[in-house]
């Protein structure tokens, strides 16, 4: 009964979305206020109905309703409750329902918090957003309906992919989707502005919070996924340049570019058509990401559920939205003339450099991801493009970006003197070189990546601190002024410092990891660097829905016991899949990562030990980036702008 | 094809793990070279994993094969060529910049040149543009301004 209600709610939401797509757009064209005004209640209703449908599906998973085909395929009555809930989106149909739920959520948020937008722009934004919703409701209802019943329900289900039964991954898809789909909002704003034919500083300010929100979620989602891969896949890799990872990374890169170019639109009314193009492309890459994941076009470790026919449907959706938006862009872009005048050396041009680097880096990731396909189609060559290519072709862009960042953010708007901007940074530069040099001196005969990464990290972090201090002026009361800086300034500093910390972490884990693989008898031990890993015992245990082989490991550093570790090997009988649960001793300086393997003929066990320096910096940096975004999102000027209709606006001077 | 299928079945049924202790060569220099090389070779039955990371039995066979070649005195290049000759260039995770693949390698730098050129052109235009035309306020805006100022 609840399932049918959910199904019905979804069909109703489809109808509401069609209404919300057609009526406000006509209303905005004809300037009929009544027709424009229906967009807001429609957006709210659409969200409520989709939430009802999603809730009904979740209910079916929670109660293990095996008359539902989707529940049979992806759940099991013995599964822990958390994974019954996360099972709702751990499959194709459910994840598409989550996708469309978030589309409608963002639409509803724009309706609720968009009170300061001109009425016609708001109607158009909501209309375009509803159009995206319509495409995906159609996709769900016609090709991947989650509410299909089975005529003869089985006694139990086939279980969720065991790799997905993990807290990190339970929340990874919702965050990633909030990010992907959040970019639909910037897309809607861009298309609405193109239809409207008007883009000004106010548009830049309206679109920025949505980009920021999407980017925060994307950052958290990617970091969670990477962290999951690190501890779950069993060899401590954190990024594999897998097509599906790239699919989430490309929108992230473009969202970063968009965040920065929207600043130029907001402050200086320049780079308008480029910003619009970025907004369109960023969502385009989200759609490409969905297409890659859902079509199984590119082989990937993440391809859990896919189907070529669904891929074609998504390809059509993509062709329609990208084609339509780009045609509109080609027709209208020439009307968007820039207003600001600025010198070759200025904050504006530094932001332009940022955009060039990020967009080209995104292009490199894109072509590397698609190349196996292109090579097979056009050159009849079957080849692979793997991590070595991306490391070589992508990293230089990030190195240059890191080098330019502190300088660019120190430059003033309009016209700058490079010498004056560099002056406060010279000590920072010397210190950062010293840090890199120290790292170089301490290692011997290894790649340059480690020292370069540490230099960049130190350069960015200290550069942002100096930049922030520089904003407090001179003389008395600097501390007071520091605490009164706008939150956007703090956000900028935190996010930039987070990037530096992540870069240092990536350099650390990539350049200085040590591993050791050997068979250890029970009671025996392994020496790795200054650590001793002692295998005390191995037991076989029964988990709720798996069998586990657990190693009891004591970790010593220089002879002193520092941790008890429990690496596990699990076997899920229903899905017939093994997984590894690495035991990790976390620490700011390094992770000790222990994995237990198979029993050997002589009674010993395979023990893998990895020492991974600075690994946690990667995720701490990501957390700081997200926190910085959050601070910036809470900045006064967005809240004031929200009430601008009531009060005259006060703009903080940068 | 059948070998692949059997290898895949083995992967599903018996869990094995990446590099096993019995594969490791006693000569640490050779082993280091083998580890480095195997990070650049793809496991053919897996989804986008190198043979160093993969736990498929085919990956194990390739790791052992690679080590045998190194022990037999092959250079890095010869050992990799030996495997590429038998399994095709699909096994290389790092596509060599030869033939059409140079396009892939050149795409990034070329795009950077193009973008930098366009960006510089835009900057030149902006820095020499006449100051923005200060459009006078419309009557409506002027009225609102007066209203605010006189409050």
Q: Please state the rounded mean pLDDT for residues A593-598.
A: 88
Distance in Å, alpha carbon of A73 to nearest chain B alpha carbon? 19
| Shortest alpha-carbon distance between residue A380 and chain B (Å) | 10
Task: Please give the pLDDT value at position A320.
Answer: 93
Residue A306 pLDDT greater than 90, yes or no: no
Strands (E), A521-651: 525-528, 531-542, 547-557, 560-565, 568-572, 577-581, 583-585, 590-599, 605-613
Per-residue pLDDT, A533: 92
Name the band, by pLDDT with cuts 50, 70 and 90, for residue A446: low
What residues of chain A lie within 8 A of the CB of B104, using their CB?
Answer: 367-368, 371, 375, 385, 389
pLDDT band at A134 (very low <50, low <70, confident <90, very high): very high
A467, pLDDT greater than 50:
yes
Residues 625-654 in A contacting B (C-alpha not used; CB under 8 Å): 648
**Which of B121, B127, B145 is best to mutate for the A interface (most A CBs within 10 A)?**
B127
> In this predicted structure, which of A2-11, A451-460, A538-547 has the lowest mean pLDDT?
A538-547
Chain A CB contacts of B116 below 8 Å: 356
Please judge whether A598 and B89 are an interchain contact, meaning their C-beta atoms are less than 8 angstroms apart. Answer: no
Q: Is the pLDDT of residue A268 over 90?
A: no
DSSP A224-286: HHHHHHHHHSSS-------HHHHHHHHHHHHHHHHHHHHHHHHHHS-SHHHHHHHHHHHHHHH
- CB contact under 8 Å between A367 and B107, yes or no, is yes
Kindly determine whether residue B100 and residue A375, on different chains, have CB atoms separated by under 8 Å: yes
Question: pTM for this structure?
Answer: 0.89
At residue A87, the pLDDT reads 86
- Interchain proximity A364–B107, CB inside 8 Å: yes
Q: Render pLDDT for A52-71 as a digit per residue (tens, 0 to 9).
A: 999 999 999 999 889 998 88
The proportion of chain A whose per-residue pLDDT surpasses 90, expressed as a percent, equals 43
Is there a contact between B53 and B14 (Cβ–Cβ < 8 Å)?
no
pLDDT tens per residue, range A185-221 = 999 999 999 998 888 888 888 888 999 999 999 999 9
CB nearest to A344's CB, from B123, B130, B148: B123
Query: Which residue bears the tokens 């059409």?
Result: B100
Q: Say what the pLDDT of residue A529 is.
A: 85
The pLDDT of residue A108 is above 90: yes
B124 at A interface, C-beta within 8 A = yes
**Is residue A309 scored above 80 in pLDDT?**
no
B119 touching A (Cβ < 8 Å): yes
Which of A458, A589, A600, A461 lies closest to A522, judged by CA?
A600
What pLDDT is recorded for position A543?
Answer: 84
Residue A573 pLDDT more than 90?
no
- Chain B CB contacts of A597 under 8 Å are 17, 20
Per-residue model confidence as pLDDT tens digits over A17-60: 999 999 999 999 999 988 989 999 999 999 999 999 999 999 99
B123 and A CB contact within 8 Å: yes
Does domain B2-91 correspond to CATH entry 1.10.760.10?
no
Residue matched to tokens 């301004």: B145
Report which secondary-structure segment, H or E, holds A362: helix A347-374
Distance CA A55, CA A340 (A): 49
- DSSP codes, A273-342: HHHHHHHHHHHHHHHHHHHHHHH--S--TT-SS--HHHHHHHHHHHHHHHHHHHHHHHHHGGG-------
pLDDT at residue B60 is higher than 60: yes
Name the residue ranges covered by the structural domains of chain B.
2-91
Residue A606 forms contact with B (CB below 8 Å): yes
CB A286, CB A184: distance < 8 Å: yes
A68 DSSP β-pair partners: A149
| Partners of residue A393 in chain B, C-beta under 8 Å | 105, 108
Phi then psi dihedrals of residue B101, to 5 deg: -70, -20
Mean pLDDT of the residues in chain A: 87
HSE of A159 in the Cβ direction (CA atoms, 13 Å)? 18
Residue A296's pLDDT band (boundaries 50, 70, 90)?
low
Contacts of A648 in chain B (CB under 8 A): 148
Q: Return the residue in A375, A383, A392 with the most chain B beta carbons within 10 A, the one to mutate for interface testing.
A: A383
Which residues from A are below 8 Å from B90, CB to CB?
Answer: 382-384
Residues 484-523 of A with CB under 8 A from B: 517-519
Q: What would the mean pLDDT of B21-28 be, rounded to a whole number?
A: 81
Chain B CB contacts of A578 under 8 Å are: 15
Partners of B20 on chain A (C-beta within 8 Å) are 517, 597-598, 606
CA distance A181 to A420: 42
- In whole angstroms, give the CA distance from residue B44 to residue B10: 14
Average pLDDT over residues A523-551: 89
């Amino acid at each position: 009964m609840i399932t049918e209600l959910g199904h019905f709610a979804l069909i109703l939401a489809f109808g509401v979305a069609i209404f919300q797509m057609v009526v406000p757009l006509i209303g905005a064209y004809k300037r009929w206020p009544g027709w424009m005004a229906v967009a807001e209640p429609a957006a709210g209703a659409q969200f409520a109905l989709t939430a009802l449908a999603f809730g009904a599906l979740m209910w079916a998973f929670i109660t293990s309703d095996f008359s539902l085909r989707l529940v049979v395929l992806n759940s099991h009555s013995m599964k822990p409750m958390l994974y019954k809930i996360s099972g709702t989106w751990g499959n194709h149909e459910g994840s598409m329902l989550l996708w469309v739920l978030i589309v409608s959520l963002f639409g509803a948020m724009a309706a609720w918090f968009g009170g300061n937008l001109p009425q016609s722009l708001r109607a158009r934004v909501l209309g375009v957003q509803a159009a995206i919703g319509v495409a995906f409701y159609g996709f769900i209802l016609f090709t991947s309906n989650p509410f299909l019943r089975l005529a003869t329900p089985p006694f139990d289900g086939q279980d969720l992919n065991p790799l997905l039964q993990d807290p990190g991954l339970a929340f990874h898809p919702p965050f990633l989707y909030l990010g992907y789909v959040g970019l639909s909002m910037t897309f809607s704003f861009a298309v609405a502005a193109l239809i409207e034919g008007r883009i000004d500083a106010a548009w830049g300010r309206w679109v920025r919070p949505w980009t920021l929100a999407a980017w925060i979620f994307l950052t958290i989602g990617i970091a969670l996924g990477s962290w999951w891969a690190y501890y779950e896949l069993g060899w401590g890799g954190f990024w594999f340049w897998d097509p599906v990872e790239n699919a989430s990374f490309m929108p992230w890169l473009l969202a970063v570019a968009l965040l920065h170019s929207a600043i130029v639109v907001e402050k200086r009314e320049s780079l308008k058509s480029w910003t619009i193009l970025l907004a369109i492309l960023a969502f385009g890459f989200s759609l490409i990401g969905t297409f890659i994941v859902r079509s199984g076009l590119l082989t990937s470790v993440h391809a859990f559920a896919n189907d070529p026919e669904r891929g074609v449907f998504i390809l059509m959706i993509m062709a329609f939205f990208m084609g339509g938006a780009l045609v509109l862009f080609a027709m209208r872009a020439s009307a968007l003339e820039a207003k600001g005048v600025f010198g070759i050396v200025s904050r504006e041009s530094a932001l332009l450099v940022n955009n060039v680097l990020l967009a080209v880096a995104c292009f490199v990731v894109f072509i590397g991801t698609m190349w196996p396909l292109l090579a097979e189609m056009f050159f009849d060559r079957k080849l692979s493009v793997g991590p070595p290519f991306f490391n070589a072709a992508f990293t230089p862009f990030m190195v240059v970006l890191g080098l330019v960042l502190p300088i660019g953010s120190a430059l003033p708007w309009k016209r700058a003197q490079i010498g004056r901007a560099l002056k406060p940074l010279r000590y920072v530069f010397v210190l950062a070189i010293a840090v890199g040099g120290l790292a170089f001196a301490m290692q011997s005969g290894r790649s340059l990546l480690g020292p370069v990464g540490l230099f960049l990290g130190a350069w960015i972090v200290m550069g942002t601190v100096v930049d922030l201090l520089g904003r407090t002026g001179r003389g008395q009361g600097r501390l007071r002024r520091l605490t009164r800086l706008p939150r956007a300034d703090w956000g900028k500093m935190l996010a930039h410092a987070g990037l530096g910390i992540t870069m240092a972490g990536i350099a650390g884990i990539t350049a200085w990891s040590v591993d050791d693989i050997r068979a250890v008898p029970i009671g025996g031990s392994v020496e790795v660097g200054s650590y001793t890993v002692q295998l005390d015992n191995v037991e076989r245990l029964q988990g709720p829905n798996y069998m586990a082989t657990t190693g009891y490991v004591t970790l010593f550093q220089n002879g002193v016991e520092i941790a008890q570790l429990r690496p596990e090997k699990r076997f899920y009988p229903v899905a017939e899949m093994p997984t590894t649960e690495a035991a990790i001793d976390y620490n700011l300086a390094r992770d000790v990562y222990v994995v237990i393997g198979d029993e050997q003929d002589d009674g010993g066990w395979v023990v893998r030990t990895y020492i991974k320096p600075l690994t946690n910096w990667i995720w701490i940096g990501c957390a700081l980036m997200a926190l910085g975004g959050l601070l910036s999102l809470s900045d006064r000027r967005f809240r004031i702008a929200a009430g601008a209709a009531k009060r005259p606006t006060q703009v903080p001077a940068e | 094809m059948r070998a692949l299928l059997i290898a895949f079945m083995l992967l599903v049924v018996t869990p094995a793990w990446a590099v096993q202790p019995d594969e490791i060569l006693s000569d640490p220099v050779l082993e280091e070279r083998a580890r480095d090389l195997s990070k650049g070779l793809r496991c053919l039955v897996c989804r986008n994993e190198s043979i160093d990371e993969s736990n498929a039995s085919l990956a194990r066979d390739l790791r052992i094969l690679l080590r045998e070649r190194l022990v037999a005195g092959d250079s890095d290049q010869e050992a990799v060529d030996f495997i590429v000759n038998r399994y095709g260039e699909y096994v290389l995770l790092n596509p060599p910049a030869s033939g059409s693949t140079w396009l892939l390698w050149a795409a990034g730098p070329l795009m950077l040149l193009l973008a930098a050129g366009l960006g510089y052109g835009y900057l030149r235009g902006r820095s020499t543009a006449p100051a923005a035309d200060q459009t006078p306020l419309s009557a409506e805006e002027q009225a609102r301004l007066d209203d605010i100022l006189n409050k």
